Chains A and B, each alone.
Chain A
Amino acid sequence: MEKIFKKPKGLNDKTMHYCPGCGHGIVHKMIAQTLEELDLLERTIFISPVGCAVFAYWYFNTDHIQAAHGRAPAVATGLKRANPELIIVSYQGDGDLASAGTAEIVHAAARGENISVIFINNAVYGMTGGQMAPTTLVGQKTSTSPFGRDPNFAGHPLKVCEMLATTKAPRYIERTSLDSVANLNKTKKAIKKSFDLQARGEGFSLVEILSPCPTNWGMSPPEAMDWIAETLSKEYPLGVFRDERADTEVRNDS
């Protein structure tokens, strides 16, 4: 009998600190599997964000750097420009990427930095205790939107893939989810495509992953997955937002 699914080499044996049913663990595993499959583990620098994944470096068998809130794409830029041989995995949550670090992510994308951004969207601030995030849905109750997000005061959710896809440089942008077998497989495929493109030097890619936060949503993990399928992915449609190589011809004015 052959073992057809085992723990990837990119992860060590520590038990992750995440809550039961948290999406971070699922995505960490996919990243590690993919780096192993593409034989990129030894070249990878993983950038952990500020958020629940701040300690991601406890679990990966790769080099690691921890970035300030929102700054991971800037740190990624520096690393990659210093050593283009490195594979840069910039891992960010929605508070980190879509709030504190909007400037960094927009401009790293606009420059077409040859990095892979894995963006975990769970519509809430996890680490600090379930406060409203830029991605929180209208009407969603959080510890700082106790009556539900009111668009008259707090505006509407920020859609990162759609926003970044308005710039020309990004090579690949896709939104996936973790709520079904089909979507798990699509997520894994998207991560693999992103890393592969980076290894080929093709430019910036971002995979946004709709991910459960059962604790702060106040749901059991299975209920949280159902909520992604029924509610969250209605606000954030899944799909590919960019999959083409940008025009890179240099045109000098006189």
Chain B
Amino acid sequence: MIGNKRMTAICGAFGTGKTEISVNIALKLAAEQKKRVILVDLDIVNLYFRSRDKRDALAAKGIKVISGAKGFENADLPALAPEILEVFAQKDSLVIFDLGGSDYGGTVLSRFNEYLKNEKINLWLVVNPFRPFNEKNEDTVAMAEHISRRARLPVSGIIANPHLMNQTTDALIEQGLAQINRIQKYPLKFLTVMEDYYKPEMEKEFEIPIMVLSKNMIQPWE
């Protein structure tokens, strides 16, 4: 899935599903049990629904989560934990960076440019065309270019995540995917579909690899 890259950074507009996808990639890599998996939450923009909320659950599955300074997880205090630097030292680990939303997610990554320029890294943009600022492909491409400049890394691919949560349908996935397919500038890596809406025939029908997402971020009434 991640090719021969040791690191993968997930970026995109707010609420396109970056965290859900980051957690799912980490879970899949951990399940392969080849290497130690570290999930780094670099979302300093949005403080609700971040992957650090699931730190304990992920730890049980062998994923180390590095997020804001310990003890300040609920604080309106977007500090970076000093232990982030260890991911660059531990060369035998696989690393997933969950970046913050919008153009600014790339900025935090740029902070580690001196380390990243010696690493092999994917920078993948999650796109849900049913979200604001992803509704038009030209806006999506402009955002990708902006993130790339901010991160000082090229965007290496797109993850299509077309959905409307519990109102997702096959037709809607198809419609969203068709739109994302029209983006010429970046290669489409795979489609993500939430497990409730996944059907095995989709892979063939849509002619694209699919990552089935398990739902990790749930509401109290669900």
Contacts and interface: CB of A to CB of B under 8 A. Distances in A.
B189 interface: no
A56 to B, nearest CB: 42
Contacts, number: 3
Contacts of B149: 254
Interface string A243-254: 000000000001
B151 to A, nearest CB: 11
B6 interface: no
A25 B149 CA distance: 59
B127 to A, nearest CB: 21
Contacts of A254: 146, 149-150
Interface residues of A, number: 1
B147 to A, nearest CB: 11
A254 B150 CA distance: 7
Interface in B119-150: 146, 149-150
A254 B110 CA distance: 13
Interface string B144-165: 0010011000000000000000
B104 to A, nearest CB: 12
Contacts of B146: 254
Nearest to A254: B149
Interface string B104-124: 000000000000000000000
Interface of B: 146, 149-150
What 3 pairs between A and B have smallest CB-CB spacing?
A254-B149, A254-B150, A254-B146
3 contacts: A254-B146, A254-B149, A254-B150
